Each structure stands twice: as C-alpha cells, then as structure tokens.
C-alpha cells in the first residue's frame, strides 16, 4: 500500500484548523448581516471564515468562488451558486423540508437543516448583495472534528450537462470514480497526541483523492481513522459503517430523486475517541459521529426509477470500510424493502 502523506497533505497546529464555535455574543443577531449597509466591524463580530471547509466552491484560494462562512450562533452560510445550480439546490432543500412524502421524510434525516436564504448587504465595498444558503453546521458540537468529503457516483454530471462538461468530469479521480463510483475530495484529521486530541491537524486536499489507485482504496479508512497514530478502533468504524448502511437503505427505497455530484460529509470527534480509548463508552462514541449528505446542485426527478448511480457507489464505499474491520465485527448486509 502506498504512503498517502506525500500527496496533497498539509499539517498545521490544531488551533488554526478547528472550526470556531463560540457562543453568540450580545448584539450578534444573524439579522444584522442582512441590512442594506453593514460596517466591517459588525461583520467581523458575527461572521468568520469556515476553516473546516475541505471541498466545494470557495475551498481553493484560486477557484474564484466565495467561501463558506460561519456565524457565531452556529449557522453555516453557503454561497448560492449561479442558476440553475443554486436554484435547484434551494428547491431541493425547501421541497424535502416541507414535504410529508415518505421519501422526503426519510431523506430529511440525512441532510443539514435548511433555514432559508439571505443576502448579505454591501459591506464597505467588500461585498454587494451576495446570497447565501443558511444551514445547520454538521460539525457543531464536535470539539476536534475529523472530517471527510466523499462525492458519490460514477456519473457526477446532470442530464443537462454539455458534452465537454461530461468528458471533463469523467476524467477526474481515475482510481476510484469510474471503477468504484466515489471520489475522495478531502480529509482533515485532528491527531490524538499525548493523551489529548489537540495535537497537529492534517489536511489531505483533493490531490490525495486524485492520486489514489484502485488497489490502494484501503488507504481511505486508514487515513481517516488515523490508524497509524491511534491504532484501529473497531467500534468507531462500526458506528460509521452502521450510519452508511442506514443511508443506503433510504436510497435503495426512494424513487423520487436522481442525485448527481452530491457528497457524504463524514464527521467524528477525535476527543470522543480519546475518551473511548479510556472508558469504552460506546454510547458516547456513537453520539460523537455524524454523517450527512450535502451539495444538491444536480438533483433531478427520478420518474419512479431507483438512483442506481448513487446506490452502487455507496455500496462500494461501504465495502471498502467494512473490509477494514475484523471479520467478527462486520455488520449484516442491509436488506431493501
């Protein structure tokens, strides 16, 4: 197995990479942002860069897109993409959140809560009417979040994509996308060191995923669970696999959507893992794991058909994680209704 660290790895002190989660200060109501004029001082009082962003628009300094922002009340502000992408994403969130249909109710449990869209007013010339989706932060409450963004599906373009876009997308992530149906966009881990989850943080950027070979996919759980540093913690892998299988069951049943280029955002708290290694509290360990489906700019009606592109990719990803477990720890396969 090849060493993953030379490809797309950055290290930094944990304090510089952990997402801020300070309590709301007096006068920092989210509504202050959405007046026609806001001072720079007011902006800095309520918003901060979302340091835990590892993929997506705005995650690279040179991609020309606005990055995510984090509000001090815990909400995440995601930039609205140009139509039709942004329009589709908002319509999906609103539709799923308002619907009582069984497919929507089931999916709703696996996506961040949506709080509408807002425009940030002009801020001393720094921005002018930028629109954002307001979402719950999947990482809220995790003191030392280890996160991973994996895009699901061999096909990551919608049926409206031009041929050039399709060809461009199909060439990405050659070791995992076409053969297995998933792409690793990025990983951030907080290393447990000297009995604390406050050691160095390590970021694996998209180069890690693009350089993966098919035969080296076991590197993914090895890196994400920081096995070289902490050793294998089967109970943690079991919790993650259990959540993946629960999500798979939802998508094996649903017949409403075809979801292209969406990601699963994996998150677990390294500090909770450190505590588990001491007291073996599995219930607390499970509460320290969160898995959500994100990014819905390419959602289309399924016309009653199963989303095989998503399902097959997720099944293969589950297989990679399950094969990382000892035989006696593996969970039974999910059965579709």
pLDDT tens-digit map of 211-245: 999 999 999 999 999 999 889 999 999 999 999 99
Cβ neighbours of residue 267 closer than 8 Å, sequence gap 6 or more: 138, 139, 142, 145, 146, 147, 148, 289, 290, 291, 292
Identify the CA nearest to 241 among candidates 336, 182, 313, 317.
317
Q: Are residues 51 and 86 in the same domain?
A: yes
Q: Find residue 184's DSSP bridge partners.
A: 150
Q: Are residues 95 and 169 in the same domain?
A: no
Q: Using an 8 Å Cβ cutoff, are 236 and 291 in contact? A: no
In a domain, 274, yes or no: yes
Stated as kind and residue range, the H or E segment containing 119 is strand 114-120
pTM > 0.85? no
> What pLDDT was estimated at residue 71?
81
Q: Are residues 121 and 47 in the same domain?
A: yes
In a domain, 14, yes or no: no
Between CA 22 and CA 286, with CA 206 as vertex, the angle to 5 degrees is 50
> What pLDDT was estimated at residue 267?
98
Q: Using an 8 Å Cβ cutoff, are 311 and 248 in contact? A: yes
In a domain, 193, yes or no: yes
Between CA 26 and CA 34, with CA 28 as vertex, the angle to 5 degrees is 155
Q: Is the pLDDT of residue 254 over 80?
A: yes
Q: What is the mean pLDDT of the chain?
A: 82
Least confident of 6-15, 154-163, 266-275, 278-287: 6-15
Last residue of a domain, one of 136, 164, 180: 136
Cβ neighbours of residue 234 closer than 8 Å, sequence gap 6 or more: 325, 326, 329
Buried b (16+ CB within 10 A) or exposed e, 227-248: eeebebbebbbbbbbebbbebb
Structure tokens at 175: 């070791």
Identify the CA nearest to 301 among candidates 165, 121, 101.
101
Q: Is the pLDDT of residue 73 over 90?
A: no
In a domain, 132, yes or no: yes
Going by pLDDT thresholds of 50, 70 and 90, the confidence category of residue 34 is very low
Last residue of a domain, one of 136, 167, 183: 136
In a domain, 334, yes or no: no
In a domain, 309, yes or no: yes
Structure tokens at 150: 């994996």
Q: Is the pLDDT of residue 23 over 50?
A: no
In a domain, 2, yes or no: no
Q: Using an 8 Å Cβ cutoff, are 208 and 216 in contact? A: no
Contacts 24+ apart (CB under 8 A), 316-319: 316/180, 316/181, 316/182, 317/150, 317/152, 317/180, 317/181, 317/182, 317/244, 317/264, 318/241, 318/244, 318/245, 318/248
Mean pLDDT, to the nearest integer, of 275-283?
95
Domains of the chain: total = 2
Q: Are residues 186 and 279 in the same domain?
A: yes
Domain that holds residue 30: 20-136
CA–CA gap between residue 48 and residue 4 (Å, rounded): 31
Q: Are residues 159 and 80 in the same domain?
A: no
CA–CA gap between residue 46 and residue 40 (Å, rounded): 10
- Could you tell me the CATH number of the domain that includes residue 179? 3.30.470.160
In a domain, 12, yes or no: no
Q: Is the pLDDT of residue 39 over 50?
A: no
> What pLDDT was estimated at residue 129?
61
Q: Are residues 110 and 157 in the same domain?
A: no
Q: Is the pLDDT of residue 127 over 90?
A: no
Going by pLDDT thresholds of 50, 70 and 90, the confidence category of residue 51 is low
What's the alpha-carbon Rg for the chain, to the nearest Å? 20
Q: Using an 8 Å Cβ cutoff, are 69 and 48 in contact? A: yes
Count CB neighbours of 206 within 10 A: 20
Q: Are residues 128 and 151 in the same domain?
A: no
What is the per-residue DSSP string for 88-115?
HHHHHHHHHHH--SHHHHHHHTTSPPEE
> What pLDDT was estimated at residue 216?
96
Q: Are residues 316 and 169 in the same domain?
A: yes
Identify the CA nearest to 59 among candidates 185, 197, 201, 229.
185
> What pLDDT was estimated at residue 6?
38
Q: Are residues 154 and 110 in the same domain?
A: no
Between CA 78 and CA 79, with CA 116 as vertex, the angle to 5 degrees is 20
Q: Is the pLDDT of residue 104 over 50?
A: yes
Last residue of a domain, one of 84, 108, 136: 136
Q: Is the pLDDT of residue 28 over 60?
A: no
Q: Are residues 321 and 203 in the same domain?
A: yes
Q: Are residues 79 and 156 in the same domain?
A: no
Q: Are residues 159 and 287 in the same domain?
A: yes
Cβ neighbours of residue 198 closer than 8 Å, sequence gap 6 or more: 14, 15, 144, 190
> What pLDDT was estimated at residue 76?
93
């Amino acid at each position: 197995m090849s060493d993953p660290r030379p490809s797309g790895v950055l290290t930094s002190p944990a304090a510089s990479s952990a997402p801020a989660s300070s309590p709301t200060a007096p006068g920092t109501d989210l509504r202050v942002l959405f007046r026609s004029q806001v001072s720079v001082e007011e902006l800095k009082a309520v918003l901060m860069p979302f340091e835990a962003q590892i993929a997506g628009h705005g995650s690279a300094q040179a991609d020309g897109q606005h990055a995510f922002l984090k509000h001090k009340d815990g909400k995440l502000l995601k930039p609205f993409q140009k139509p039709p992408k942004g329009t589709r994403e908002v319509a999906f969130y609103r539709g799923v959140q308002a619907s009582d249909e069984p497919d929507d109710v089931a999916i709703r449990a696996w996506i961040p809560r949506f709080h509408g869209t807002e425009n940030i007013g002009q801020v001393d010339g720094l921005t002018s009417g930028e629109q954002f989706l307001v979402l719950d932060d999947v990482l809220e409450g995790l003191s030392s979040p280890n996160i991973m963004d994996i895009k699901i599906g061999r096909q990551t373009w919608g049926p409206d994509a031009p041929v050039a876009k399709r060809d461009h997308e199909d060439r990405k992530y050659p070791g995992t996308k076409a053969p297995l149906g998933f792409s690793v966009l990025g990983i951030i881990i907080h290393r447990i060191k000297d009995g604390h989850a406050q050691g160095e943080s390590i970021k694996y950027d998209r180069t890690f995923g693009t350089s993966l070979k098919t035969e080296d996919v076991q590197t993914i759980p090895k890196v994400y669970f920081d096995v070289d540093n902490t050793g294998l913690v089967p109970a943690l892998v079991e919790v993650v696999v259990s959540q993946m299988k629960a999500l798979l069951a939802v998508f094996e049943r649903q017949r409403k959507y075809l979801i292209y280029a969406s990601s699963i955002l994996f998150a677990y708290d390294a500090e909770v893992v450190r505590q588990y290694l001491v007291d073996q509290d599995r219930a607390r360990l499970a509460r320290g794991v969160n898995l959500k489906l994100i990014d819905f700019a390419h959602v289309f009606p399924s016309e009653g058909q199963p989303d095989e592109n998503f399902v097959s990719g997720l099944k293969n990803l589950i297989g990679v994680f399950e094969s990382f477990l000892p035989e006696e720890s593996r969970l039974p396969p999910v059965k579709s209704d």
